[in-house]
Structure 1
Amino acid sequence: MLHTPPGGADTGTAAAESGPVSIGAVLQALREEFPEVTVSKIRFLEAEGLVEPERSPSGYRKFRTEDIERLSYVLRMQRDHYLPLKVIREHLDALGRGERPPAIPAPTREAPEPGVTPPAPAVRIGRKELLTVAGIDEAELAEWEAYGLVAASADGAYELTEVTVARLVTDLGRFGLEPRHLRAMKAAAERQVDLVEQIVAPLRRHRDPRTRARAESTAQELAGLSVRLHAALVQAALRPRGD
């Protein structure tokens, strides 16, 4: 079993208070700090050897408090410092030996406007992780990228929105839909983005910094309403109609 980081490693996520718990309970504990974490992500980190939960006689995973703390540490290092898993594993090994891990440069961020809460840093994953989570191979991912369905950031990492897209493309593929069939959906999404940008562009150019800061929240709200409208229109179109 890999050693758990000792106290003082900033493991603030709520953990189980008594006895081993299921992966569902771990997910609930982690989501207080990491809302985007999934069961697939936890299983991937287990497969990478960053956490080794016990197994019940029937084969179910049982996580201890120190397992949850390790997961919190890994997710925090990815979110706040964008560290690859190899480096995070070295940190955990050093902590397990009672040593100080290598220094981490403090992330540089612009000061937020007064009265504006900055967005939380996004959790990102690497290419290998995306392949595992989506259950696809390199050729499939390359095809998706060629059609513009999924795109990595400049440093090769993927935002969780890209992970969501990958999972949905995988699910649609089980019904025989190929990436070329999804180009229309991609084009429709881009048209929605263009419409949202037309509305928020005046806010971004406003002299008042608070008005400029509201542009992002307005864009997110408009995007959410657009998605809901699209879903409602599809459901309405599929509803059986009388003669």
Structure 2
Amino acid sequence: MTSRQRMTSAARKPAAAPEAEAVEAQPEGRWPFDVPHDPYLKIGEVQSMLAAEFPLLTLSKIRHYESIELVHPHRTASNQRLFSPADCERLRFILREQRDRYLPLDQIRELLRQLDAGQQPEGTHPGRLRLIDDAAKRPQPGTRLRLTEVADLTGVSVSDVEEMVDAGILAADPRGRLTAQAPDIVRFATMLLGAGFTLRQVRSVRTSAHAHAVLVTNSIATERARKSSVARERAIASATENSTVISQLYRALLTENIEVELR
């Protein structure tokens, strides 16, 4: 084909129909790279897509992640947010790191920075990159946490954490700090509240746990009274073992009683 024939053929091709509002694909410079970056999903559609795995995900939380630049949805001429499948996977990664590894948002930001830079070692999970210590997923025993730290670790708002303290679900020390177990308590309490339980009902679980904690500590009173280091270690080991047995017994009893009620 001559150059004149090629020009004539190109001229005959129909022009693409203009759209009411042009949407450009996002630059594929952000992780994940192997997922389409074409923005066409509205924020409500994104929430619906992730709802099965993250039932507590709200529109305001998605907007918050955008405001702190963890996700970067496209904005149309009318300022409407449009998300791509890559944005959805990025959101899923953020939510999983908060839920499963208890990572605060600043560490998730560093993970995403590394992923965006292509620094993920081949064959490894994105959540196990350099500079991020796996020990960070859980506070060390004996650690005291501020309400803001618990909120950051769990993705729950500070006001919701305060509400759990006021309801007696969380125990704060005189300085207003919470225990290392607080993130787990908040996480599971939030799941129950999302399932329709009330704060008072969730508190009843804490009341039951306190009663059994007293039962366990009373059972090792003799060892604790001896004050020696050997006796202390023996008391701790016994308390740990008894706590595990009580937890397993409670789970079996709870399952049995639910089965009976549903018959």
Query: Quick check: 1:188 aligned with 2:208?
Result: yes
Q: Cα–Cα, structure 1 residues 224 and 171, in superposed 2: closer, same or farther, change >3 Å?
A: same
Q: Is the 8 A contact 2:220 2:238 kept in 1?
A: yes
CA deviations on 1:80-133 (whole Å, 9 max, x unpaired) are: xxxxxxxxxxxxxxxxxxxxxxxxxxxxxxxxxxxxxxxx75566543232133
Query: Quick check: 1:63 aligned with 2:120?
Result: yes
For 1:233, the equivalent position in structure 2 comes to 253
Query: Quick check: 1:146 aligned with 2:136?
Result: no
Residues paired across the two proteins, number? 163
Return the letter of the residue paired with 1:161: Q
Q: Is the 8 A contact 1:51 1:70 kept in 2?
A: no
Return the letter of the residue paired with 1:54: L
Which structure is richer in relative contact order (CA contacts within 8 A, separation 6 or more)?
Answer: 1
CA deviation after TM superposition for structure 1 residue 191, in Å: 0.8
CA deviation after TM superposition for structure 1 residue 54, in Å: 1.3
For 1:46, the equivalent position in structure 2 comes to 107
2:261 and 2:159 mapped to 1: Cα distance? Answer: 42
- Structure 2 alignment gaps of length 5 or more: 1-92
For 2:194, the equivalent position in structure 1 comes to 174
CA deviations on 1:151-187 (whole Å, 9 max, x unpaired) are: 3456655444211111000110111112111222111
1:242 and 1:143 mapped to 2: Cα distance? Answer: 33
Q: Secondary structure at the match of 2:103?
A: helix
Q: Is the 8 A contact 1:44 1:132 kept in 2?
A: yes
Query: Quick check: 1:199 aligned with 2:256?
Result: no
Q: Is the 8 A contact 1:150 1:162 kept in 2?
A: yes
Larger radius of gyration: 2
1:241 and 1:43 mapped to 2: Cα distance? Answer: 40
TM (normalized to structure 1)? 0.54
Q: Is the 8 A contact 1:126 1:157 kept in 2?
A: yes
Return the letter of the residue paired with 2:200: R
- Structure 1 alignment gaps of length 5 or more: 1-22, 28-36, 80-119
CA deviations on 1:207-227 (whole Å, 9 max, x unpaired) are: 653122211121111111111
CA deviation after TM superposition for structure 1 residue 139, in Å: 2.2
Q: Is the 8 A contact 1:53 1:63 kept in 2?
A: yes
Q: Cα–Cα, structure 1 residues 158 and 183, in superposed 2: closer, same or farther, change >3 Å?
A: closer
Q: How does 1:80-99 map to 2 (within 5 A)?
A: none
1:68 and 1:125 mapped to 2: Cα distance? Answer: 25
- Over the aligned positions, Cα root-mean-square deviation in angstroms equals 3.8
CA deviation after TM superposition for structure 1 residue 39, in Å: 4.0
Q: Is the 8 A contact 2:104 2:153 kept in 1?
A: no
CA deviation after TM superposition for structure 1 residue 148, in Å: 2.0
1:161 and 1:193 mapped to 2: Cα distance? Answer: 14
